Amino acid sequence: MKEANFSFFYQNISAFRKGGLCAIEVNPKEVGRAKRGFARAKLLKGMESIMEWERAKTYLLIFFLLLNAGLGLLLFAEDRRYTLTFEQERRIRTILDQNNVILYELPMRRFPPMQPLSVTGFYYDRDELIRILFEDPLTVERRRTFEGYIFQDASRQMIISSGFVFFEDPNGFRQWGGFQPTLALGEITDASVISLTTGFINSYFPDFVQDGDPFVSEDDNGGVRIIYRQEYRGTLVHSNFIEFLVTSVGIYQMEMQFGRVIGHSGTPTMIFSPDEVLLTFVQRVGHIAQENPMSIRDMDLVYFQEYISDQGGPYNAVPFYRIFTHQNERPFLINAFTNVIID
């Protein structure tokens, strides 16, 4: 504010000296003018502060927009890094065709880093299995042999040996007081097999899901098999399974093997891409396919505990690719960390 605004302090002053005192006369108009000047200056200063904050907000908005754009580009680049390109797919298709292996459609293109899965050794509550599988646990005879444990009543038998649980009931499994599966008129269809076994799974093993369609095995005398595996956060644990054999009497046999899943362990690790895994696969089966052409019907990623023990653990189940063909009942398993196929 200009100095002239304060001139009222020096105008119309009548000074006299009486006892060292000085009297000052102030013009009221000048006081009002000064107050208005102060208010105007304060308003201008506030407006300047608002304008500075608006500019700061604009700069922050531009900064965050640029940051989001940069992060988006990084995510896009990271996604492409772990996604199979069309050129890679074209090359592996050419190699497969040259080796009489047909791939109608590549089932998977993404291969992001994965963590191992921590799993205990074989995890069975024998008393709980007896309660589930036998009509009256009090009538079950229990024996321990060199190979494992045997539990049986008049018709049913359960053997726990080398980590496997094997159960058989020639009359067809029935669970009194709980879920009672039945097979209408002894007719075996995919739908009836799924309905029969899903009821059992939902009652006693709800974290297991159906893995693949029912299939016929040569040694099962007309029976149909179906497999359920444990699912952990959307990924199957291949080594944790329950397999059923269904015949005209109903559920005739069950085979089980599983450990308790603890959770992910370690840091995410890069895995081999699908085309590299398919190249390993064709190197293994190429000599067979030259005489008997093969066709791939599916391919996925699961966790698999290659070496499982009856000790407490925990052990690591690692990512494995599974390759399914129309010519084989069981999938080929290839370690996603090492690209080594197992038999």
Q: Given this model, what pLDDT does residue 149 score?
A: 93
pLDDT in tens, 284-297: 998 899 899 999 99
Q: Which two tokens stand for residue 68?
A: 């989001």
CA-nearest of 197, 223, 222 to 211 is: 197
Q: Given this model, what pLDDT does residue 332 score?
A: 96
Coil, strand or helix at 130: helix
Q: How confident is the model at residue 188 (pLDDT cuts 50, 70, 90)?
A: confident
pLDDT in tens, 38-56: 656 666 666 666 666 677 6
Cα separations in angstroms, 241 against 34, 208, 293: 90, 8, 30
CB 226 within 8 A of CB 194: yes
Mean pLDDT of the chain: 82
CB 119 within 8 A of CB 241: no
CB 299 within 8 A of CB 272: no
Question: Is pLDDT above 60 for 316?
Answer: yes
Question: Is pLDDT above 90 for 108?
Answer: no
Give the list of residues 6+ apart from residue 59 with CB closer than 8 angstroms, or none. none
Q: How confident is the model at residue 179 (pLDDT cuts 50, 70, 90)?
A: low
CB 193 within 8 A of CB 248: no
CB burial of residue 34 (10 Å; 0-12, 13-18, 19+): middle
Q: Given this model, what pLDDT does residue 211 score?
A: 97
Measured at the CA of 85, the angle between CA 83 and CA 86, to 5 degrees, comes to: 140
CA gap 185, 118 in Å, rounded: 44
pLDDT in tens, 319-336: 999 999 999 888 999 999
What average pLDDT does the segment 206-224 reach?
Answer: 87
Q: How confident is the model at residue 304 (pLDDT cuts 50, 70, 90)?
A: very high
Percent with pLDDT over 90 in the chain: 51
Question: Is pLDDT above 50 for 8?
Answer: no
Q: Given this model, what pLDDT does residue 250 score?
A: 87
**pTM for this entry:** 0.76
Coil, strand or helix at 277: helix
What average pLDDT does the segment 178-186 reach?
Answer: 54
CA-nearest of 106, 104, 141 to 293 is: 104
Residue in this structure with the two tokens 């009538």, named with its chain if needed: 139
Q: Given this model, what pLDDT does residue 185 score?
A: 47
